[in-house]
Structure 1
């Protein structure tokens, strides 16, 4: 082991945590910075609205597949090493996108950036390894909340950065921050105390990638191809077959990408389903609401906002998300995690319904987003700690990694569905109609209602119980 890594043992856990939080923040920032500038990026790349939506979808799809794979590689080769490699890949993908002359290379760069999705499960695992057990739940909650807050910050600062340095700076600046995080991680994060030599199941990886692609592509294109056309139905059937095969392979694997046995715990599967459904609304709103507010009023809706103004409209969500995340642990301790998640889910439904029916004034948008921020801030931190309480200590990292991953999968679905709905309500060479956004937000509200119902099924921990999860092999 090189002396540089060996000497890192002298760093305190607090220093390690700060470096990990920097990595999480840098990842979240790059993930969200381009959301408000999609219309400008579409013009810059001379492409269509349908293709520019894949700038988000390609990233989320890649992250959905790469997140569990990178987590497993961390178990085998060392979380510290794989974290640095993930950050390098994230920076490399950002450079590719920053220099892309057309949409194809832009999408290629976004796919490479999706490898950075592994930063979250690796962070959770390193926190579990390096921090005292009693501090683990709080630290994981902070990391989960920071991932959400970083996304909000990216939306807010995208406009000023674009005005000052140009649209491609939205890739160059986070790339520089990611390089700093990679160097700091190499110096500070201690080597993993344990390794597992079991190889990654590449068959499960291919099957997972296959069913996600087969599901998302027709979802995004169904409005153009027709819901009953073979081009839509055949991929859907293929997605079902591939997903079934993936589940079978995962259940038989000693080291599955996503542990199906762990998911049998009621607390785990309900929390993960709530996370997926929250991801549907979060990523779709973050991707398309900036486009809505930038639409010229001549279209019958929108405010003709600049990129900076669009970001400022989303600022209330970022602020309330951060503040709510800080208070979530106290709320869960007083009222119980299930009640807190049910309340957060209800607030999310109210917020998305408000966006669907009341979006004629800027204050209406800001108020709905502030309410959504409260919902998301409470929910994300609470879900992380529900998982911590529901599994064995050695499963903390992988279990929270799964929760983050299914949220990303939900985001992939949400963006694809919203893109498809808007596509169905967009005339040739025109802008989406207002009804497209109304129907789209209404569908997101349906996902929110489903999250509310599932949250009510989360079991209440028995007094004195430390875990609710079954005894399953660690991930």
Structure 2
């Protein structure tokens, strides 16, 4: 095929995958305005809504390693279809149950959408194998996918907020179910399978060990957030989760076809990327709820906050997501002008600057928006860049695993941060400050400092990455090296 035809075929695949990510964004933004309505429909307390987040977070940490490896083995499109079918089935259960246990299980299974982006970027990387400028093509495609994701999140939040006030909840909950069902057929008919799957057998022993480790770790963190730092069971689960990583690593090093090639963590290019993903998860997953509650806090009552209405708060979130779209789309252009490594460092610095600006500037609506735009530009670039960078630096047989690991490590970073921030906000809460807000100003300052410092740490880590990492030159050099048994 000519280069033009090849690029045209890949562009059509990216277009269909962008629709998939738009649907993913709808799932991530649609339900937020109606969580209180869902709680009333299920007959549960508002605080019990946290179990929905916790179970989905736990499941996402489990499914990504398995589905990423299976994508490399049997085809990324096939695993994309299976995960979409599970997500669609779970989404179709939600409108028709008012039993909390059933809703909780369906909500958790809906979290299979977390594997979509890693599988999509691995698929694009594998289909661009014969093209020149492969790293740049993957980076641009990743930027478009993340832009579609954030646009879907904005659309989902706006549509969900409008419909929940006008229609019965059953009808409202059907909308994302229909969108995911359509998404399944878009993948089936519009996306071609990645060439040359690696084959092999799934490392079930490794999968069981890492699953137990992740269940124990995320479960322990959830209990810490719910029951406080004095909970012995929570600490025991966290400790067990950390300890299980050791036998997992030993097993994987001895396995001929490991679930996760742990040697990738020693790679001078991949190791810092995985650590950056974990540090980035602290802010992108752990800080959003505290920022929202800070904006809603009434300064006339508590002496801090903005006292914004629900709509004004949603505008902040919307502007933040638009900034993420801009960051995702700008990443490949800036990476061509400098290098992907420097661009990643710059994005991390933007996130750090944005959060540290909250320390002196948090008393006005415009200040909050300005800070969030800076954070959003950096965050959007990182969301797009990290899986693309992992794909370009990974061994050819571990592309899906590497992109999936950026997601898994980011999720773990977010889970740890969510626990730490929850404890900090609760422990700092002043008397009478628990009504309608999460904690005192000192608790929020802790959140901003941790997010800023972890982002700076990520920028420092990336400085140790080889200068030509994540570029086509590095890919050619890596693929020209003889295979090491």
* Fold match (TM-score > 0.5): yes
- Looking at structure 2, the residues matched to 61 and 239 of structure 1 have their Cα atoms a distance apart, in angstroms, of 13
Q: Quote the residue 1:115 is aligned against.
A: 112
C-alpha distance in 1, partners of 2:288/2:95? 21
Aligned pair in 2 of structure 1 residues 293, 101: CA closer, same or farther (>3 Å)?
A: farther
Which residue of 404, 407, 413 corresponds with 1:404? 407
Contact 2:147/2:326 (8 A) holds in 1: no
What is the TM-score of this pair, normalised by structure 2?
0.83
Which of 206, 210, 232 is the aligned partner of 2:234? 232
Q: Report what 2:195 is aligned to.
A: 193
Task: Provide the residue aligned with 1:465 in structure 2.
Answer: 473
Task: Measure how far apart 1:44 and its partner are.
Answer: 4.9
Contact 1:152 1:317 in 2 (8 A): no
* Closer, same or farther: CA 469–238 of 1 in aligned 2, 3 Å: farther
User: How far 1:388 sits from its partner (Å)?
Assistant: 4.2
- The reply on whether 1:105 has 2:102 as its aligned counterpart is yes
**Is residue 2:380 matched to residue 1:373?**
no
**In structure 2, what is the Cα distance between the partners aligned to 1:42 and 1:250?**
43
Q: Which moved more, 1:164-173 or 1:91-100?
A: 164-173
Match 2:347 to one of 344, 347, 367: 344
Which of the residues 54, 73, 93 maps onto 1:96?
A: 93
The change in CA–CA distance for 1:68 and 1:25 in structure 2 (over 3 A counts) is farther
Q: Give the CA deviation at 1:454.
A: 1.7
Match 1:319 to one of 318, 322, 331: 322
Q: 1:87 aligns with which of 84, 88, 99?
A: 84
Residue 182 of structure 1: CA displacement?
0.5
Cα drift, residue 187 of structure 1: 1.4
Corresponding residue for 2:448?
441
Q: Is the aligned partner of 1:52 residue 2:49?
A: yes
Q: Which residue is equivalent to 1:5?
A: none
Unpaired segments ≥5 residues, structure 2: 1-5
State the partner residue of 2:184: 182
- Number of residue pairs aligned between Structure 1 and Structure 2: 465
Bigger Cα displacement from structure 2, 161-170 vs 105-114: 161-170
Change over 3 Å in CA distance of 1:69–1:307 after alignment to 2: farther
Distance 1:445 1:212, change over 3 A: farther
Give the RMSD, CA atoms, in angstroms.
Answer: 3.3
Give TM-score, length-normalised by structure 1.
0.85
Q: Which moved more, 1:409-418 or 1:391-400?
A: 391-400
Q: 1:455 aligns with which of 454, 462, 469?
A: 462
1:45 deviates by: 4.1
Please list the CA deviations of residues 142-172 of structure 1 after superposition, one character each: whole Å capped at 9, or x if unmatched.
Answer: 3345445544554455433433446666643
Choose the corresponding residue for 1:363, options 355, 366, 372. Answer: 366
CA distance in 1, matches of 2:266, 2:478: 8
Question: How far 1:123 sits from its partner (Å)?
Answer: 1.2
| Match of residue 210 from structure 2 | 208
